[in-house]
């Protein structure tokens, strides 16, 4: 089951279930303790609750009659790093001083985890993601993303874009928070796929296409089979000695990195497709 937050033609924002080519609205006024998509995701039985919340007075809407919003409420956004071989190699090449750190963290028991942002820094489908003005080498990082409830259980999956300033990160590993966390630094959406079925890692492919005008300037592909960590292991490390009363999103790292002479430009468009979830498209701004 796929859940979303959508905006309707009259400007109202609603929770919804996506079924094929249509969107079924949910009525969040039926239960006192369910007001947001996060309340549904954090409930004991999100799928059962959604069926109960279906707004029977509305007809399903065609997908093109709604605008998909980032599926986040008050959760924190975190990210894992250097979880694919491709990322380990790229980081070691970009950073003279940090190379050994990236080398070691790839195989260390403790993964790299960093704070990526708050809902205020997240862009939904179609909203701009940003390249910092003080960066001349920035890339999108297409990442399979876990939706975690306050008990740190994986309740769903979505698509994440961990926008990254490679020059700032490469200059000094201590600049990582500035390379990673700034306004519009993260894309999320378009839907949350409930984690009710076991994942087929090899079939969960992650594709990115970057367009500049009508030209495709980069495309890449990987799959979860290339991920060097187990998904529950990443969630468990995030939850150690920490509390997430409003839940969390955890981006699980990138396995796709464009060549070193590639940087995003103002006006580019980034499309990330993950099999079984959908496609997250964002325009890029640098202004």
Task: List contacts with Mg ion (CB under 5 A).
Answer: 141, 162, 254
Give the three-state DSSP class for 51: helix
Q: Does 254 bind ligand DO4 (CB under 6 A)?
A: yes
Cα–Cα dist 138/248, whole Å: 25
Identify which of residues 83 and 204 has a Cβ nearer to ligand DO4 in the complex. 83
Cβ–Cβ < 8 Å for 66, 7: yes
Cα–Cα dist 147/76, whole Å: 10
Q: In the window 79-108, what residues touch ligand DO4 (CB under 6 A)? A: 79, 81-83, 87, 91
Q: Does 162 bind ligand DO4 (CB under 6 A)?
A: yes
Q: How far is the CB of 99 from ligand DO4 (least distance, A)?
A: 11
Cα-flanking dihedrals φ and ψ of residue 224, to 5°? Answer: -65, -15
β-pair partners for 15: 5
Residues in contact with ligand DO4, shown as a per-residue x/- string from 113 to 142 under the rule CB under 6 A = ----------------------------x-
Q: Name the H helices within 64-195.
A: 85-94, 99-107, 166-171, 176-180
Tokens at 282, concatenated: 């964002």
Q: Which partner from the list ligand DO4, Mg ion, none does 112 bind, CB cut-off 5 to 8 Å by kind? A: ligand DO4
Tokens at 21, concatenated: 């080519």
Identify which of residues 194 and 223 has a Cβ nearer to Mg ion in the complex. 223
For ligand DO4, the binding residues (CB under 6 A) are 79, 81-83, 87, 91, 112, 141, 162, 164, 169, 176, 253-254
């Amino acid at each position: 089951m796929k859940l979303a937050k959508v905006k309707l033609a009259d400007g109202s924002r609603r929770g919804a279930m996506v079924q094929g080519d249509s969107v079924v609205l949910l009525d969040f006024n039926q239960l006192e303790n369910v007001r947001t998509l996060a309340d549904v995701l954090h409930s004991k039985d999100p799928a059962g609750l959604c069926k109960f919340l279906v707004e029977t007075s509305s007809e399903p809407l065609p997908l093109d009659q709604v605008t998909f919003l980032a599926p986040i409420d008050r959760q924190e956004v975190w990210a894992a790093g250097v979880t694919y071989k491709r990322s380990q190699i790229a980081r070691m090449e970009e950073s003279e001083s940090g190379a050994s750190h990236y080398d070691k963290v790839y195989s260390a028991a403790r993964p790299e985890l960093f704070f990526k942002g708050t809902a205020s820094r997240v862009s939904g489908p179609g909203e701009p993601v940003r390249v910092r003005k003080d960066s001349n080498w920035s890339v999108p990082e297409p990442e399979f993303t876990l939706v975690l409830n306050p008990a740190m259980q994986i309740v769903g999956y979505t698509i994440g874009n961990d926008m990254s300033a490679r020059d700032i990160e490469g200059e000094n590993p201590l600049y990582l928070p500035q390379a990673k966390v700034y306004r519009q630094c993260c894309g999320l959406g378009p839907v949350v796929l409930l984690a009710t079925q076991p994942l087929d890692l090899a079939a969960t492919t992650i594709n990115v296409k970057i367009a500049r005008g009508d030209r495709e300037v980069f495309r890449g592909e990987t799959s979860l089979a290339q991920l060097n960590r187990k998904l529950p292991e990443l969630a468990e490390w995030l939850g150690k000695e920490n509390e997430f009363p409003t839940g969390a999103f955890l981006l699980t790292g990138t396995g796709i990195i464009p060549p070193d002479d590639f940087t995003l430009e103002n006006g580019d468009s980034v499309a990330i497709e993950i099999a079984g979830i959908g496609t997250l498209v964002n325009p890029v701004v640098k202004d």
